[in-house]
Amino acid sequence: MPKPHSMSEKIALITGASRGLGAALAEALAPEHHIVAVARTTGALEELDDRIRARGGAATLAPMDITNRDAMAQLCRSIHDRWGGIALWAHTAVQVPPLTPAHHIDAKDWDRAVATNVTATGILIPFIAPLLGADGSALFFDDPAGGAKFHGAYGATKAAQITLARAWVGETGTTGPQVHVLTPAPMATALRARFHPGEDRSRLASPKDEAARLLDSLV
């Protein structure tokens, strides 16, 4: 039987929750929110669940690909049926293609980046907006360095995503939900290490610290 919505139980939906900033946000929000964690990697989601439970929190794991429109529609319907809505959506899922000159971009890599970074965002906003209502908050994460050389496929699709998010910011200023475009500092993530081997990671922020800083900036 579906669980009735409780105003005392705040729900946070994290898309891209398995690692990096998404996982750190999930852990930071868990003390006051039930986390709905979406990611493709089941093992990493289970590890996140263990960490959340160790701190007394609770999570619902949704191992799925955000580019699967039908799966995401079903998830949003299930969230509505179980809780009635959500307090917060943090969209951290991202596809970063291999670094390459613009004239060497592989068509399949380009298609995957467009599907994840642009198309899925355009589909998810209409799905999730009704769950947020007027009082919820949606968080997107900009990357000003996305247009650096060899980052063309990533930078172009990330910029398209953020352009869409900024339009939503402008459209909801007086009606809600509260939509925010935040800018994380460069972080010491596994993804960044893959594309910046040999970088001095001591100069990078930790995802945990950035999650705390970004959430504090919303207060």
pLDDT, tens digit (0-9, with 9 covering 90-100), for 190-208: 888 877 788 888 899 999 9
pLDDT in tens, 125-165: 999 999 999 999 999 999 988 888 999 999 999 999 999 99
Query: SS in 3 state form for 30-78?
Result: CCCEEEEEEECCHHHHHHHHHHHHHCCCCEEEEECCCCCHHHHHHHHHH
Give, in order, the Cα–Cα distances in Å from 160 to each of 53, 61, 115. 36, 28, 12
Let me know: does 142 contact 162? Beta carbons within 8 Å.
yes
Every domain of the chain and the residues it spans: 10-214
Q: Is the pLDDT of residue 2 over 50?
A: no
- At 146 the pLDDT is 80
3-state secondary structure of 215: helix
3-state secondary structure of 13: strand
- At 8 the pLDDT is 62
Identify the band that residue 7 occupies on the pLDDT scale cut at 50, 70 and 90.
Answer: very low
The predicted model gives 182-191 an average pLDDT of 90
* Class (C level, CATH) for 10-214: alpha beta
Widest CA span of the chain, in angstroms?
Answer: 54
Query: Quick one: how far is CA 202 from the chain centroid?
Result: 25
- At 160 the pLDDT is 97
Q: Indicate the range of 7-21, 38-52, 128-142 predicted with least confidence.
A: 7-21
- At 63 the pLDDT is 98
